C-alpha cells in the first residue's frame, strides 16, 4: 500500500464522511420522496449520531489501540470517520430505499478505504466502525416512533404566513409572521 | 275593404322548411349536448367518489411507515463488530496483505 500510495496522502475523507448525512437531511428538496418529514429525520439522525459518537469514544478510550502512522496515538480502534459515513449511508438506505442505499454504501466504503489508504487505521478498525455506524443508524430508526409520539414530530403542517411590509413615509421595511401551533 | 277581405294587405308568412341538412345538424347538436352532459356528470361523480375514497381510509394514505425491529437486522453490524474486535489482538494490516 505504501508503494502504491507513493508517499502521498489525501485528506478528502475528512469532508466526505458528512456527505451521506447531508444527503439524508436534504435530498428530498431535489424531488425525491422521503418516508419521514424533516423534523423526524433530524431527530433520527441526532439520535443515531449521539449513540454512534458515544459508543465510538467509549471504545476508543477503553481499547487504546495505536494508529498505523503514529503508534503513540492510541485512538485507532474503531474508525470514527467510517462510523460517521456508514451511519449516514444506513439512514439513507432506510429512508430512500435500495438504489440510493447502494450509492451511499459505495460512498461510505470509499471513505473506509481512504482511511486505510492514508495509513490512519487498520482494517479491523474500519470494519468495526462500519458495524457501529450501521447499528447506530438502526437504533435511531427503531427509536423514531417513540420520539415522534413524545415530541409530536408528525403533527400536520402548521399554517404559517409571512407578510412583508413597507412604510413609504419613513422608508421602513418590515415583516410580519404568523404561525399556528 | 275588398283588399283586406281578400288578404292582400298582409305580410307574406315564411314557412320554415325543414331540410334534411338542418335536421341532421339539430340532431347532432342535441346529441352532443347530451354527450357533454353525460361526460360532465361522469367527471363530477368520479371526483366525488375519489374524494370519498380518500376520506374513507385516511389512515392508509397518511400513515407513516416506521422501521420496525427485527432480529435479522442485527446480523450485518454484529458480524462486522465481531470480526473487527477479533482483529484487535491479531491486527489485520491490509498493507501486509497487499
B68/A contact by beta carbon, under 8 A: yes
In a domain, B11, yes or no: no
- Angstrom distance (rounded) from CA A13 to CA A112: 8
In tens, the pLDDT along A13-38 reads 899 999 999 999 988 888 888 899 88
In a domain, B33, yes or no: yes
**CA-CA-CA-CA dihedral for A101, A103, A108, A114, to nearest 10:** 170
| CB pair distance less than 8 Å for A134 and B80 | yes
B84/A contact by beta carbon, under 8 A: yes
In a domain, A173, yes or no: no
Domain range holding B57? 17-92
Q: Enter the DSSP assignment of A71.
A: T
In a domain, A77, yes or no: yes
B85/A contact by beta carbon, under 8 A: yes
Q: What cell was used for B72?
A: 435479522
In a structure prediction context, what are the per-residue pLDDT tens digits for chain B, which is 98 residues long?
445 555 556 666 666 666 777 778 888 887 887 777 676 666 666 555 555 544 544 444 456 778 889 999 999 999 999 999 988 877 665 554 44
Q: Where is B43: in which H helix or E strand?
A: helix B20-56
Tell me how many degrees the CA angle A152-A50-A96 measures, rounded to the nearest 5. Answer: 65
In a domain, A6, yes or no: yes
Tally the domains of chain A.
Answer: 1
Q: What is the ipTM of this complex?
A: 0.80
In tens, the pLDDT along A67-87 reads 888 878 889 999 999 999 999
B69/A contact by beta carbon, under 8 A: yes
Tally the domains of chain B.
Answer: 1
In a domain, A51, yes or no: yes
| CB pair distance less than 8 Å for A36 and B84 | no
In a domain, A177, yes or no: no
Task: Specify the pLDDT at position A24.
Answer: 93
User: What is the pLDDT of chain A when averaged over all its residues?
Assistant: 87
Look at residues A77, A89, A75 and name the one whose alpha carbon lies nearest to residue A135: A89
In a domain, A169, yes or no: no
Q: What cell was used for A80?
A: 470514527
In a domain, B65, yes or no: yes
In a domain, A69, yes or no: yes
In a domain, A162, yes or no: no
Domain range holding A125? 2-156
- Angstrom distance (rounded) from CA A63 to CA B88: 8
Nearest chain B Cα distance for residue A125, angstroms: 6
Q: How far is CA B32 from CA B21, B24, B44, in A?
A: 16, 12, 18
In a domain, B6, yes or no: no
Whether A19 contacts A88, CB under 8 Å: yes
Q: Is the pTM of this model over 0.90?
A: no
Amino acid at each position: 500500500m505504501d508503494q502504491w500510495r507513493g508517499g502521498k496522502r489525501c485528506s478528502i475523507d475528512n469532508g466526505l464522511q458528512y456527505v451521506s448525512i447531508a444527503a439524508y437531511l436534504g435530498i428530498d428538496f431535489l424531488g425525491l420522496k422521503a418516508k419521514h418529514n424533516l423534523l423526524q429525520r433530524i431527530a433520527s439522525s441526532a439520535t443515531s449520531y449521539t449513540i454512534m459518537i458515544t459508543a465510538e469514544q467509549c471504545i476508543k478510550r477503553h481499547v487504546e489501540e495505536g494508529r498505523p502512522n503514529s503508534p503513540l496515538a492510541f485512538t485507532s480502534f474503531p474508525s470514527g470517520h467510517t462510523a460517521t459515513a456508514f451511519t449516514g449511508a444506513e439512514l439513507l438506505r432506510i429512508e430512500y430505499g435500495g438504489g440510493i442505499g447502494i450509492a451511499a454504501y459505495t460512498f461510505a466504503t470509499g471513505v473506509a478505504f481512504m482511511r486505510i489508504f492514508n495509513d490512519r487505521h487498520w482494517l479491523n478498525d474500519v470494519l468495526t466502525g462500519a458495524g457501529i455506524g450501521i447499528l447506530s443508524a438502526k437504533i435511531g430508526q427503531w427509536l423514531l416512533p417513540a420520539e415522534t409520539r413524545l415530541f409530536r414530530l408528525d403533527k400536520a403542517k402548521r399554517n404559517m404566513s409571512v407578510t412583508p411590509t413597507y412604510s413609504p413615509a419613513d422608508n421602513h421595511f418590515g415583516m410580519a409572521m404568523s404561525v399556528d401551533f | 275593404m275588398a283588399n283586406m277581405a281578400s288578404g292582400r294587405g298582409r305580410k307574406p308568412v315564411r314557412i320554415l322548411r325543414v331540410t334534411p341538412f338542418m335536421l341532421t345538424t339539430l340532431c347532432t347538436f342535441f346529441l352532443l349536448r347530451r354527450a357533454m352532459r353525460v361526460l360532465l356528470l361522469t367527471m363530477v361523480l368520479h371526483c366525488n367518489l375519489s374524494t370519498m375514497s380518500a376520506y374513507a381510509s385516511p389512515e392508509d394514505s397518511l400513515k407513516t411507515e416506521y422501521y420496525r425491529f427485527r432480529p435479522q437486522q442485527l446480523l450485518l453490524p454484529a458480524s462486522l463488530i465481531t470480526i473487527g474486535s477479533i482483529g484487535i489482538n491479531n491486527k489485520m494490516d491490509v498493507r501486509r496483505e497487499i
